[in-house]
Amino acid sequence: MNQGNQTWSDRFESALHPAIARFNASIGFDIELIEYDITGSIAHAKMLAHTGIISKEEGQQLITGLEQIRLEHQEGRFNPGIDAEDVHFAVERRLTQLMGDVGKKLHTARSRNDQINTDIRLYLRDQIQGIRIQLREWQGVLLKHAETHIETLIPGYTHLQRAQPVSLAHHLLAYFHMAQRDWERLGEIYHRTNVSPLGSGALAGTTFPIDRHYTAAELKFGGVYANSLDGVSDRDFAIEFLCAASLIMVHLSRLSEEMILWGSQEFSFIQFQDSCSTGSSIMPQKKNPDIPELVRGKTGRVFGHLQALLTIMKGLPLAYNKDLQEDKEAIFDGVKTIQGCLEAMTILLREGIEFRTERLEAAVNEDFSNATDVADYLAAKGVPFREAYNLVGKVVKTSLAAGKLLKDLTLEEWQGLHPQFEADIYEAIAPRQVVAARNSYGGTGFEQVRSAIKSAKEQLLDTKS
Ligand code: ARG
């Protein structure tokens, strides 16, 4: 006999096996959705009263009871156990305890299937907006460093071999642009998340004269699902979110990897401040870059959640299937991981590292990363580039053999290599000039970097689109 302790009907004669009840329950994690569940239920109750499906007084009683539960939750007094199965049933059961039989009317013209999809959307759209704000802060810190370091040079790498020096600002702005795409991408996903499935019923709609546009407007959704089957079972938005989250992690993880390298003794380009690094329990000389390492490490779990959700969806027949209960932990953990990583990385970049400019300066002066510029020098004087390139290859080889850098070659030596070399070769291969000369659009030339910073600032002013 149904004692009102479980969601389903008197068709069931015996209670669930306790282990099965535990296995089946989602209350342990979907309690995260409780405020959204209550908000969704209030909109539904209003709509039921508005359409005359229940009376105005009944609607008001439901709302009063739901607000009461919200308060109990906020004050830590509402802690449903495993027997509540999920957040929806927990709220409905409490509502009936509080308000009597009218509580049993809340679920008229609704199913947990459209309810849960509504709840996740309300939750996720809030989180998306929060993450977008965090991305803006992250971009702000990147931009601030960029402004300080326009003229600081850093070796630029390909294949992790020194390639050409670049402005440190240019390097950091690359991450600004990645974050900009992340911000835009989440903005697009927000719109597809912000669509109301409420009123799709269990799968086929409902026999009651509900008003789906009314609830959608109450909940500030941008639209309503046009097909009830799709409405209850679509999780594309969650997959898109985890995909966007994965890309954010890719970007944070790449910079983390660079920071770890830069902080090593081999590079020594940055120094970690005590507030953002940890020591070793055995080796007293060490300062470890735990924060970027953790960010790099946490990347895998977000990828994992994306993979999990894709796999959950791939074989699901329409419409709702209990497999979908598995979406919650993936989404929640994806959200929390992104939030935590963005917060930590923002603090780390803002106050946890210092660029060792003297080391950077030395680094760009002590290598052959100006070799391309020697070839460009000759090419600009009419020597075909490939010929100039081959010649410079030889120059590098003989210099290496002589233990010299290009800047150490005498003018006679230069002219011995090619008659077109003149005294201005020294200026052409000085790292500052090498960087300044790359003035093509989007390049590292200081002029380009300055205008890139200007546009980046303008982009940051946009907090909406
Ligand atoms: N806890 C369920 C979930 O997370 C709610 C929907 C249950 N619907 C059902 N028909 N069993 O998906």
- List the chain domain ranges: 18-108, 113-152+166-363, 371-447
Q: Cα(368)–Cα(429) distance, rounded to whole angstroms?
A: 10
Q: What is the position in ligand 1's atom list of the atom closest to the CA of 202? A: 10
- Ligand 1 test: best mutation among 36, 41, 112, most atoms within 8 Å of CB? 112
Q: What is the pLDDT of residue 125?
A: 98
CB 41 within 8 A of CB 116: no
Question: What DSSP designation does 46 have?
Answer: H
Q: What residues contact residue 362 under an 8 Å CB cut-off, 6+ apart?
A: none
Q: What residues contact residue 363 under an 8 Å CB cut-off, 6+ apart?
A: 154, 155, 269
pLDDT tier at 107, thresholds 50, 70, 90: very high
CA of 64 to the centre of ligand 1 (A): 25
- Reference 294, options 318, 273, 278; nearest CA is 278
Q: What is the pLDDT of residue 209?
A: 98
- Reference 37, options 24, 26, 21; nearest CA is 26
CA angle 392, 393, 395 (to 5 degrees): 60
Structural domain 371-447, CATH architecture:
Orthogonal Bundle (1.10)
- Reference 350, options 296, 299, 291; nearest CA is 291
280 classed as catalytic: yes
Q: What CATH number does the domain located at 18-108 have? A: 1.10.275.10
Residues 121-175 have pLDDT tens digits of 999 999 999 999 999 999 999 999 999 999 999 999 999 999 999 999 999 999 9
Percent of the chain with pLDDT over 90: 92
Strands 353-355 and 270-272 turn out to be: antiparallel
Catalytic-role residue among 159, 275, 440, 465: 159
For 430, the 3-state DSSP assignment is coil
CA of 102 to the centre of ligand 1 (A): 23
CA of 211 to the centre of ligand 1 (A): 23
pLDDT tier at 285, thresholds 50, 70, 90: confident
153 - beta bridge partners?
Answer: 167
Cβ–ligand 1 contact at 325 (below 6 Å): yes
pLDDT tier at 221, thresholds 50, 70, 90: very high
Nearest CA, atom 3, ligand 1 = 325
Structure tokens at 97: 């305890």
Helices (H), 104-227: 112-148, 168-193, 212-218
Residues 61-75 have pLDDT tens digits of 999 999 999 999 999
Residues 293-340 have pLDDT tens digits of 999 999 999 999 999 999 999 999 999 999 999 999 999 999 999 999
CA of 44 to the centre of ligand 1 (A): 18
CB 349 within 8 A of CB 335: no
Residues 338-389 have pLDDT tens digits of 999 999 999 999 999 999 999 999 999 999 999 999 999 999 999 999 999 9
pLDDT tier at 5, thresholds 50, 70, 90: low
Strands 223-224 and 195-196 turn out to be: parallel
pLDDT of 404 > 80? The answer is yes
pTM of the model: 0.95
Cβ–ligand 1 contact at 238 (below 6 Å): no
CA of 116 to the centre of ligand 1 (A): 7
- Ligand 1 test: best mutation among 116, 121, 198, 318, most atoms within 8 Å of CB? 116
Q: What residues contact residue 416 under an 8 Å CB cut-off, 6+ apart?
A: none
Can you name the CATH fold of 113-152+166-363? Fumarase C; Chain A, domain 2 (1.20.200)
pLDDT tier at 3, thresholds 50, 70, 90: very low
